Amino acid sequence: MLQNLRTSTWFLSGALLGLSLAVGHSVYALKDEDKQIPFEDLQAFTEVFSKVKSDYVETVDDKKLIEDAIRGMLNGLDPHSAFLNTSEFSDLKIGTTGQFGGLGIEVGMENGFVKVISPIDDTPASRAGIQASDLIIKLDDKSVKGMTLNEAVKIMRGKPNTDIDLTIVREGEPKPLVIKITREIIRVKSVKNRMLEPGYGYVRITNFQSRTTTDLLKAISDLQKETRLKGMVLDLRNNPGGVLNGAVGVSDAFIDDGLIVYTEGRLDDSSHRYLATPGDSLNGAPLVVLINGGSASASEIVAGAMQDHKRGIVLGTKSFGKGSVQTIQELRNGSAVKLTTARYFTPNGRSIQAKGIEPDIKLSTLRISEKDEKSRETYSESDLEGRLSNPNGETDGADGAAKSDSEELAQSDFQLYEALNLLKGLTILTEINNG
């Protein structure tokens, strides 16, 4: 986990669920040592409350004071526990359905500024060029220094078709960038697919929703209708996570049996073991999983399960490192508490909390320029005047087209280009081993 990162759950506007959602009025069985109420400390709280009411320079609403006190109590626990008022709780529930209004970025708080965890695919923020790790320092003409995350989120929310200027600091840029973004209704399609080359499929999961597993299986089925899949790339880059069942279901789609993930907490109902069911949607075909620093939570569960089961090769850069489970508990007045109740562990017992998933093959994002490509141009026999013809027929045109497609992928997404090459190598090795 990044130092000083304060909650990374907000979509704009909307919220990303923690790994577990329990809505309802909850009553926990407390241990004897937990039943003792700290009366002296509570008395100090009431004294401070009374002083603020009587002596503060302006009149303050009782509800606001109590709500702020609750927020402070939860924010002091860890970066992901939080109090949600009725409006925020409603936004959070809307966020998991895959449709909400706003900019389309997941954000957290770091050193008093808003930090971008990851932009969501096909949203205003993504199209405007917002990147993971961007630091937002101004919203229109207002500095975010001194704001709470909730206050910043409220400013970034707004009616569709209205604009907001984000001033951001980005590593490698000599001065702050000002990016104008037009708000719109965000409709997140969590699963996308296409064929990279004949026999090699590509599936991207942007976040984990309740329907993600079903959509993934359909995407794979659609690819298999085109041709027999020799292998597949599963892209989890900049996927901030989502519901736990989505991560379990996606992992189960590629694992025949065994443990997928388990959770441990203080309470009995916080400890669970999630097991795979028989069946591999790819029938054992090679799998490459792409991750980066924007891959968090549920994404890390999938990547960790693929590593521990040796079901797929993880390629990219180290993931975010969120290894805790949040449970949402609705209160009687319609507000809610989002509380960290457990840690999760990969099948081999690894905790990725504040550590992340280390890829099997580390590969940073690179961009190959046209100048670089031209400098590497070579000549072959087919370029020579008066060459002998190929007795099996000319193939220059087909080869040239394939090379062009490959070069285009290398320039637009070098990590994906390398993942495809790795997939081809795995396929060849599998065919050799199978005789």
Helix (H) or strand (E) holding 290: strand 287-291
The pair of structure tokens assigned to 53 is 């009411």
- Confidence class of residue 13 from pLDDT cuts 50, 70 and 90? very low
- CA dist 65 and 68 (Å) reads 5
- CA dist 119 and 302 (Å) reads 20
Specify the pLDDT at position 65: 95
Single-letter amino acid, residue 113? F
Catalytic, out of 115, 138, 230, 322: 322
Q: 10 Å Cβ neighbour count for 29?
A: 8
- Catalytic residue status for 322: yes
Q: Which pLDDT tens digit goes with each residue over 190-217?
A: 999 999 999 999 999 999 988 999 999 9
Q: Which pLDDT tens digit goes with each residue over 26-70?
A: 444 555 666 678 888 999 999 999 999 999 999 999 999 999 999
Give the global pTM.
Answer: 0.77
Catalytic, out of 121, 308, 338, 413: 308
Mean pLDDT of 275-279: 97
Best CA proximity match to 326, nearest among 341, 315, 310, 336: 341
Q: Which pLDDT tens digit goes with each residue over 326-380?
A: 999 999 999 999 999 999 999 999 999 999 999 999 999 776 555 555 555 556 7
Q: Which pLDDT tens digit goes with each residue over 301-341?
A: 999 999 999 999 999 999 999 999 999 999 999 999 999 99
E-state strands within 120-208 = 135-139, 142-143, 163-169, 177-182, 184-187, 191-197, 200-205
Mean pLDDT of 177-201: 92
Between the alpha carbon of residue 28 and those of residues 13, 21, 127, 268, 350, the distances in Å are 32, 16, 45, 10, 28
For 6-10, 122-126, 282-286, 403-407, which range has the lowest pLDDT when averaged over its residues?
6-10
Statement: residue 24 has pLDDT above 80: no
Q: Which pLDDT tens digit goes with each residue over 239-272?
A: 999 889 999 999 999 999 999 999 999 988 899 9
Catalytic, out of 13, 81, 297, 319: 297
Output the average pLDDT for the chain. 85
DSSP letter for 57, please: S
Between the alpha carbon of residue 329 and those of residues 87, 140, 359, the distances in Å are 15, 35, 35
Helix (H) or strand (E) holding 375: helix 370-375
Specify the pLDDT at position 210: 87
Single-letter amino acid, residue 118? S
- CA dist 347 and 192 (Å) reads 27
Best CA proximity match to 107, nearest among 64, 77, 158, 151: 151
Q: How many Cα atoms sit within 13 Å of 419 on the Cβ side?
A: 35
The pair of structure tokens assigned to 409 is 């992928």
Specify the pLDDT at position 177: 97
DSSP letter for 129, please: T
Specify the pLDDT at position 148: 82
The 10 Å CB-count burial string (b at 16+, else e) for 112-148 is ebbbbbbbbbebbbbebebbbbbbbbbbeeeebeebe
Burial environment of residue 195 by CB neighbours within 10 A (0 to 12, 13 to 18, 19 or more): middle
Specify the pLDDT at position 236: 98
Specify the pLDDT at position 15: 32
Specify the pLDDT at position 99: 58
- Confidence class of residue 430 from pLDDT cuts 50, 70 and 90? confident
Q: Which pLDDT tens digit goes with each residue over 411-425?
A: 889 999 999 999 999
The pair of structure tokens assigned to 73 is 């109590």
- Catalytic residue status for 64: no
In order of their start, the domains of the chain are: 6-27+42-186 (2.30.42.10), 189-324+343-378+398-435 (3.90.226.10)
Q: Which pLDDT tens digit goes with each residue over 383-398?
A: 777 778 778 765 554 4
